[in-house]
Amino acid sequence: MTLEDLGYSVDLESYRKEQGLASLGIGRVISEHKERYVVKTADHEYDAEIIGSLRFLAQQRSDFPAVGDWVAMAEFDDNKALIHAVLPRKTMIERQAVGKQGEKQIIATNIDFAFIVQAVDRDLNINRMERYLTICNTSGVNPLIILNKTDLIADHELTALIANVQSRIRQVPVLAISNETLSGIDVLKAQMLKGKTYCLLGSSGVGKSTLLNNLSGRQIMKTIAISASTHKGRHATSHRELFVLDSGGILIDTPGMREVGLTDAATGLEMTFENIVQLARDCRFKDCTHTTETGCAIVAAVENGEIDQASYENYLKMAREREHFESTTAERRMKDKEFGKMIKNFKKNRKSNKY
């Protein structure tokens, strides 16, 4: 295997040279667990950690390596390495960190295409599709919607579902597949390009791992991490998350996600809801919130059925969420600043009081 097989590019190579990193090895992070990384190189896999100075300089979660990252590293043992630098990311899919208001968490980096997977039997949720789309649009990743488990419903039901999805999401291709009958799998395989990185996004149980197995033609087992204290199997931490398929495509399987909160960087919202946002030009007031104002072109379009009511509500909900993220981040920064001032004053007082 070569680095190019893993997705390495000319741009990355010239960056590496420019930055004087040529003496270090280059590899791609294929899994991450509590600041321990598995880094794959052309002919090796390393257990890696980051060097102290990198940790020291890290200001936020996104400064640490993530699955999909290219890193410059030094081998120090047979299969151990230290990560010295994270190379610039072409794309970065991120969400609001669960339970940590105002913080971001990277899902995967350097992704070219995302497969947004949903199951047609009971999980289908167009609001959630729009949410994943927004996340993709924000980071410049090309989305494809995959409807899985089509073996579980009748053909006419599937036709209706696809029409339903496409009435709300017009600009994104939709592909129906079944991991059971393998219908659609070859079509999907044929679309995947050598050296490009794909990522599977979707809730737990929609069939991402099964799809990975079908695309790779192998049974790639997930090792479930066992929490030592409770001996309870912990959910969906796969040991390896990045795979090179025989077709040459590179596939990242992210653990199933229950929550996909938006961050302030969700500029993709306007792209996802382009047909809604465009109408705002005709609103009577420039600062229209598109809710209760008279002369709101968006509300009018919802009323006359031009815009889907559910889509409209989902748009407003996500716009509020983005705003909330922004305000909590601002608040936190303010608090940090105040805390910094307090420390400074304390030190000053201590000096002057000489205790």
Ligand X SMILES: Nc1nc2c(ncn2[C@@H]2O[C@H](COP(=O)(O)OP(=O)(O)OP(=O)(O)O)[C@@H](O)[C@H]2O)c(=O)[nH]1
The DSSP string of 99-152 is T-TT-EEEEEES-SEEEEEEETTTT--HHHHHHHHHHHHHHTPEEEEEEE-GGG
150 marked as part of a ligand binding site:
yes
Q: Does 148 bind ligand X (CB under 6 A)?
A: yes
Exposed/middle/buried for 343, CB within 10 Å: 0-12, 13-18, 19+? exposed
Among 39, 67, 298, 307, binds Zn ion (CB under 5 A): 298
Measuring CA to CA, how many Å separate 139 from each of 110, 133, 322?
10, 10, 15
Among 25, 65, 207, 249, binds ligand X (CB under 6 A): 207
Residue whose token pair is 């500029």: 267
Q: Does 276 bind Zn ion (CB under 5 A)?
A: no
Q: Does 179 bind ligand X (CB under 6 A)?
A: yes
238 marked as part of a ligand binding site:
no
Over its C-alpha atoms, the chain yields an Rg (Å, rounded) of 23
Per-residue string for binding with ligand X, 222-261, x by CB under 6 A?
--------------x------------------xx-----
CB 242 within 8 A of CB 252: yes
Choices 16-24, 203-211, 273-281, 324-332; region in contact with ligand X by CB under 6 A: 203-211
SS3 call for 175: strand
Among 123, 180, 270, 326, binds ligand X (CB under 6 A): 180
Of Zn ion, ligand X, none, which one does residue 210 interact with (CB within 5 to 8 Å by kind)?
ligand X
Q: Does 149 bind ligand X (CB under 6 A)?
A: yes
Q: 98: which DSSP letter?
A: T
Question: In whole angstroms, how close is the CB of 283 to Zn ion at the nearest point?
Answer: 3
In 3D space, the residue among 49, 35, 43 whose CA is nearest the CA of residue 6 turns out to be: 43
Question: In whole angstroms, how close is the CB of 146 to ligand X at the nearest point?
Answer: 10
- Given the complex with Zn ion, which of 64 and 312 has the nearer CB atom? 312
Choices 153-161, 231-239, 291-299, 321-329; region in contact with Zn ion by CB under 5 A: 291-299
- Given the complex with ligand X, which of 134 and 148 has the nearer CB atom? 148
Of ligand X, Zn ion, none, which one does residue 110 interact with (CB within 5 to 8 Å by kind)?
none
Among 88, 205, 217, 248, binds ligand X (CB under 6 A): 205
136 marked as part of a ligand binding site:
no
Helix and strand counts by DSSP (H, E) for the chain:
10, 13
CB 260 within 8 A of CB 126: no
Among 89, 208, 290, 322, binds ligand X (CB under 6 A): 208
Q: What tokens appear for 157 in the block?
A: 């039901």
In this structure, the dihedral spanned by the alpha carbons of residues 121, 123, 129 and 135, taken in order and rounded to 10 degrees, is: -140
**What is the Cα–Cα distance from 205 to 337, expressed in whole angstroms?**
43
Question: In whole angstroms, how close is the CB of 179 to ligand X at the nearest point?
Answer: 3
Strands 45-50 and 25-33: unpaired
DSSP lists the bridge partners of residue 245 as none
Question: In whole angstroms, how close is the CB of 290 to Zn ion at the nearest point?
Answer: 4
- Given the complex with ligand X, which of 215 and 296 has the nearer CB atom? 215
210 marked as part of a ligand binding site:
yes
User: CB pairs under 8 A, 24+ apart, for 290-294?
Assistant: 290/316, 291/316
204 marked as part of a ligand binding site:
yes
Q: What tokens appear for 201 in the block?
A: 């996004």
Q: Does 210 bind ligand X (CB under 6 A)?
A: yes
Choices 64-72, 132-140, 175-183, 269-277; region in contact with ligand X by CB under 6 A: 175-183
The DSSP string of 8-73 is --HHHHHHHHHTT-TTSEEEEEEEEETTEEEEE-SS-EEEEEE-HHHHHH--SGGGS--TT-EEEE
Among 134, 209, 272, 314, binds ligand X (CB under 6 A): 209
- Given the complex with ligand X, which of 70 and 115 has the nearer CB atom? 115
- Given the complex with ligand X, which of 221 and 310 has the nearer CB atom? 221
**Nearest residue to ligand X on Cβ basis:** 256
Q: Does 214 bind ligand X (CB under 6 A)?
A: no
Residues making up the annotated binding site for GTP are 148-151, 202-210
Residues making up the annotated binding site for Zn(2+) are 283, 288, 290, 296
